[in-house]
Structure 1
Amino acid sequence: MDLKLKLVPVPVTDIDRAKTFYIEQVGFVLDHDVRPRPTVRVVQLTPPGSACSIVLSQGLAGLAMPAGSLRGLHLVVADVGRARPELVGRGVPMGGIQDLGGILHAGFQDPDGNTWTLQQLPGK
């Protein structure tokens, strides 16, 4: 049985601010920004090279979570030592690089406080 993770809801207070952050600062690609009903908006964004996207939404009770409550989403990179300064250069406030037993991490937060981790796996 294949189980493919394709979409992760990210709870935010301001979709336009979050959309700008994820596209302009982090480098995600906009898949779509739709309003299927006047009170519903769905913005789907994909990190470059990823098969999994995130969704920013309003008006969908099934995806409602407190803004900023998502913790520790991982973005796997080939070289955290190169990726981190690139994001810093785009204005993303980043933590330092940590070595967790050969797995390298560097964290950041979106404007609502959802946390993300750049992760470099050993031998990658």
Structure 2
Amino acid sequence: MDWKLEVVPIPVADVEKAKEFYSERLGFVVDHDTRISPGVRVVQLTPRGSACSVVIGAATGTAPGAVQGLQLVVTDIDAARDELAGRGVEVSDVKHYAKDGTLAEGKGGEWNAFVFFNDLDGNGWILQEGPSR
């Protein structure tokens, strides 16, 4: 039996603003936008090429901004960083983890290049460069 992680809930304060951020700035595909009842709206979005989606909503049971460390893996971190910055996302410079565990400027070795950014509510995201598969 396969056990697949398919959806991760992301708590947000304003679903409409968050939908625009994730779809327009991050380029996620809007899978559905459902109003379950007055005041309860769920929007599911999927990063391009991903088998896992996110669901944004105000009623996730967690405070907006509480989710940290969500990771997207890309094959070209410089191009991905430039794309996000070009869409108005505030992104860090490319960084890597030094042998002492601190973050240093530039790329490290394989799997050791990262860019950090937050959504509008402060939920923390990380881009990580991985090799082409």
What is the TM-score normalised by the length of structure 1? 0.91
Q: Within 5 A, what are the aligned runs for 1:37-56?
A: 37-56=37-56
Contact 2:13 2:57 in 1 (8 A): no
- Gap runs ≥5 in structure 1: none
1:97 maps to which of 94, 97, 102: 94
**Match of residue 67 from structure 2:** 70
Which amino acid is the alignment partner of residue 71 of structure 1? Q
- Gap runs ≥5 in structure 2: 98-107
CA distance in 1, matches of 2:6, 2:96: 28
Q: Percent identity?
A: 51
CA distance in 2, matches of 1:55, 1:64: 13
Q: Larger % of helix: which?
A: 1
**Match of residue 26 from structure 1:** 26
**Match of residue 113 from structure 1:** 122
Contact 2:11 2:58 in 1 (8 A): no
After superposing on structure 2, the runs of 4+ consecutive aligned residues of structure 1 that deviate more than 4 Å are none
* Root mean square deviation of aligned Cα: 1.2
For residues 18-51 of structure 1, give each alpha carbon's deviation from its aligned partner in whole angstroms, at most 9, with x where no partner exists. Answer: 0000011010000000112223211000000001
Q: CA deviation at 1:57?
A: 1.9
For residues 84-122 of structure 1, give each alpha carbon's deviation from its aligned partner in whole angstroms, at most 9, with x where no partner exists. Answer: 01110000000111123522100100010001011112x
Which amino acid is the alignment partner of residue 111 of structure 1? L
Between 49-58 and 92-101, the greater mean CA deviation after superposition: 92-101
Larger Rg: 2
CA distance in 2, matches of 1:68, 1:57: 12
Number of equivalenced pairs:
120
Which amino acid is the alignment partner of residue 12 of structure 1? V
**Match of residue 80 from structure 1:** 77
What is the TM-score normalised by the length of structure 2? 0.85
CA distance in 2, matches of 1:104, 1:35: 39
1:99 is paired with a residue whose SS is: strand
CA distance in 1, matches of 2:65, 2:58: 14
